[in-house]
Amino acid sequence: MSWHDDAGRDLVRSFGERMALFVRGEGSYLWDADGKRYLDFLAGIAVDSLGHAHPVFVDAIATQAATLAHVSNYFATPPQLALASTLKRLAGTGDDGRVYFGNSGAEANEAAFKLARLHGGSERPRILALQDAFHGRTMGTLALTGKPYMQEPFLPMTPGVEFIDSTVEALEAAIDDRVAALFVEPVKGEAGVLPLPEGYLAAAREITERHGALLIIDEIQTGAGRTGEWFAFQHEGITPDAITVAKGIGGGFPIGALITFGSASELFYPGTHGSTFGGNALGTAVAGAVLGEIERADLVRNAAERGAQLREAIAGIDSELITGCRGAGLLIGVGLRHPVAKALVAAAQEHGLVINAPNDETIRLVPALTIGDVEIDEFIELFTAAIRTVEDALVLDTPTEVPA
């Protein structure tokens, strides 16, 4: 029996077939059970901010586990208070911000959904969200996720959510004083790394404020420095009412959070939300250490600079297949001229490169924020080799024209 058979028999079928069996990681590299080495430009889907087995991450887990892991939310712990304060500072909430801790992105967005309902009450039953944006897989967050094919097997959804185009005009047309909140994914990662139109967030801030609706920004993929700012909304210099974070803040440890600004911080009152694991000492110590290292090593700037370097290097690849790059910092979507993204991912894996295809015509690159020249050079070499493999297959598939 192979691991493949075990996975096929024992693991839930909601995920596709597992592509490899990884046994070890270090920095931007992974090793499979056969000892083959891979360059990892997926980083667990923008999660492993410091790469694999970073000493700061390892030490934070070991030290905190040996000190105090979990006591429940009847009590506070020093790492929890420290992380709340750090997140408030990095998000720029000022004194009147507050932090709710959960264990995943979906849990952070569930909390945000409840925040929106508390704000809306019976006067504001409507919630707006963007078509094609992704907010999670739980029943609440699925109701916020503007992808009909994901919702369809699980209807009926939690009511009240309406989906609009990602344009200022669509928002103006849809909003009124019965809207509790607008949910926004600033760069639609799962939809193919699609940034919002320039100026959208600033306009959305003004429009939601005018109608008394909350602006809630899902920074689960874009947060923790990924786009070259701590949070994507900071590129537009606005102040939202709430943001949600997860993925990159834990560097591989499951943790998520809802961060509220201003009067939105006063909406939750005792008894309205909770979590057993959320914000425990172990998780918050690890996330605190990860954010501390991102700050110490100036990895937000590294994300901006290496992102620009990577796009430039990709633009230099001589291939008809590539249409161009989208995204910001180290959240990059590479557009393809043909629907061969899945084949390109498979070819890359053969060549020892881990990348991801959020759809048939896009490759998503979300490497560790720690990458430098060595990783970028090796990426270009392996990615180019994978592209050649796919191009060769495309040529073979194209019927040659037979002259009449």
Coil, strand, or helix at residue 71? coil
Nearer to ligand PLP, 165 or 391 (CB): 165
CA angle 232, 143, 341 (to 5 degrees): 60
| H/E stretch holding 130 | strand 126-130
Q: Is 392 a catalytic residue?
A: no
Of 173, 244, 260, whose CA–CA distance to 211 is shortest?
Answer: 173
Nearer to ligand PLP, 217 or 347 (CB): 217
Residue 227: how many other CB atoms lie within 10 Å: 27
Spatial distance between the Cα atoms of 134 and 54, rounded to a whole number of angstroms: 29
Nearer to ligand PLP, 80 or 221 (CB): 221
Q: Which of 163, 218, 231, 261 is catalytic?
A: 218
Assess contact for 225 and 300: CB atoms under 8 A. yes
Nearer to ligand PLP, 192 or 343 (CB): 192
Q: Is 231 a catalytic residue?
A: no
Assess contact for 155 and 189: CB atoms under 8 A. no
CB of 259 to ligand PLP, least distance (A): 14
Nearest residue to ligand PLP, by Cβ distance, number only: 105
Q: Which of 101, 247, 253, 268 is catalytic?
A: 247
Spatial distance between the Cα atoms of 37 and 39, rounded to a whole number of angstroms: 7
Query: Residues near 176 by Cβ (< 8 Å), separated by ≥ 6?
Result: 126, 211
Q: Is 218 a catalytic residue?
A: yes
Residue 268: how many other CB atoms lie within 10 Å: 18
| H/E stretch holding 244 | strand 242-245
Give the torsion sign (CA, 136, 137, 141, 142): positive
Residues binding ligand PLP (CB under 6 A): 104-106, 109, 134-136, 185, 189, 218, 220-221, 246-247
Nearer to ligand PLP, 136 or 278 (CB): 136
Q: What are the residue numbers of the active site?
A: 134, 218, 247
